[in-house]
Structure 1
Amino acid sequence: MRADAEKNRSQILTVAREAVTQHGADASMRDIARRAGVGLATLLRHFPTREALFEALLCTNLDALTRKAGETETAASAGEALLSWFRELVAFTQSYRGVVAMMAAAHTNPDSALYASCEAVHTTGARLLLKAQSEGAARADMNGDDLFALVTALGWAVDQPSFAPRADHLAYLITGAILTNQPGTDVKKTTG
């Protein structure tokens, strides 16, 4: 990639990250281009769809989350590794308003630019859940799809202004439904 094209791409991603943090997944592509100092055609040349832009923004975070889960899996008990992954994923979904709906839609759509990243997160969660189940630390009647759905539901709920202050408490309740040894978990319970 030419130096000026790489500079444009980098500037677009920087501005897009700020715009999405401020305005969520509905941030205007036209506004992102304007704030990045490029034309809409330049933005679309680098990122032909909103999903492609989000994939570029999110894949670094999702890849890091997947890597961290692998590290935690070898350093902690299965229940602690699952809980750590769950908390990290929920924190990630809270950092980009509206991303949960995009991830949920991409999860079953192989044509989506977000599919590979979402599939990696789903596979990681399913593996952590299976290991926790084998050690008796998690409910036996769940699977990876259930776990991903619970993360998605919690992500959606805390995306709503009326539920956002209760995020920690809601995470506590959901992990209590997943783990068989909730008192040993490290989720901060709030009554907010």
Structure 2
Amino acid sequence: MTDLTNGLRVDAQRNRQRLLEVARRAFATDSKPSLESIARDAGVGIGTLYRNFPTRDALVEAIYRTELDHLSGQAAELLALHAPDVALRAWMDRFADYAVAKRELADALRSMTAPGAITHTTSRDQLAGAVRPLLAAGAESGVLRADVDGLDVVASLVGIFLVAADPAQATRMLDLLMDGLRTVPAASDAR
């Protein structure tokens, strides 16, 4: 296969994607899975893994960045399908999935944030950039407050997932956050 996209052959892209998927699942159950087992489970040789990810840190960083890019890209997709407030709340649920994935990679990520390979500021800025169009569309349509910054929403989300005792509490806290962002209570909350 010689069709090149992003500089990689189609089969090489498929192998890279499969490695990322298998590695993400592996890190979810083991903080230090063997790279050989990841390659084997992905159906590729260890050389293919090392060509794509020369170090364990490079693999962890790629998993994290893939999750971050995926979450960021979903904001525009949701806004195209839903009213701004509904899209923002749905994006918050997607953020919950991202928070779980980040927690699963926590040990590996800790070793990378110290030397600066992945910075909290860069991640927050990327997520805030994804939230801002949702907030702007909501303010323009009159359903969301116009005085809220994307960084404040992201910081609130991080806080919720740091302190929530369980998924049910996190859901209730997300609903409270949304109520604070709306110009009027949600129709289901009106009394």
Q: TM-score range by the shorter chain?
A: 0.5 to 0.7
Aligned to 1:70: 76
Please give the secondary structure, in 2, of the residue aligned with 1:97: helix
Measured on the aligned residues, the alpha-carbon RMSD in Å equals 4.2
Offset from partner CA, 1:84-115 (integer Å, 9 cap, x none): 22222223322442568969x97xx7x53887
Aligned to 2:187: 184
- Residue 59 of structure 2: which of 53, 60, 63 is its match? 53
Aligned to 2:29: 22
Residues 100/174 of structure 1: CA separation in 2 closer, same or farther (3 Å cut): farther
Please give the secondary structure, in 1, of the residue aligned with 2:154: helix
Give the structure-2-normalised TM-score.
Answer: 0.63
Matched AA of 2:23: A
Distance 2:135 2:128 in 1: 10
- Residue 13 of structure 1: which of 16, 20, 24 is its match? 20
Tell me which stretches of 4 or more aligned residues in structure 1 moved more than 6 Å: 5-8, 41-45, 113-117
Distance 1:122 1:48 in 2: 31
Please give the secondary structure, in 1, of the residue aligned with 2:142: coil
Distance 1:185 1:66 in 2: 28
Matched AA of 2:85: G
Alignment gaps of 5+ in structure 2:
1-7
Offset from partner CA, 1:37-91 (integer Å, 9 cap, x none): 688x996774466663234224444434333322332332222222222222223
- Residue 163 of structure 1: which of 158, 166, 171 is its match? 166
- Residue 174 of structure 1: which of 174, 177, 180 is its match? 177
Alignment gaps of 5+ in structure 1:
187-192
Give the structure-1-normalised TM-score.
Answer: 0.63
Number of residues paired by the alignment? Answer: 173
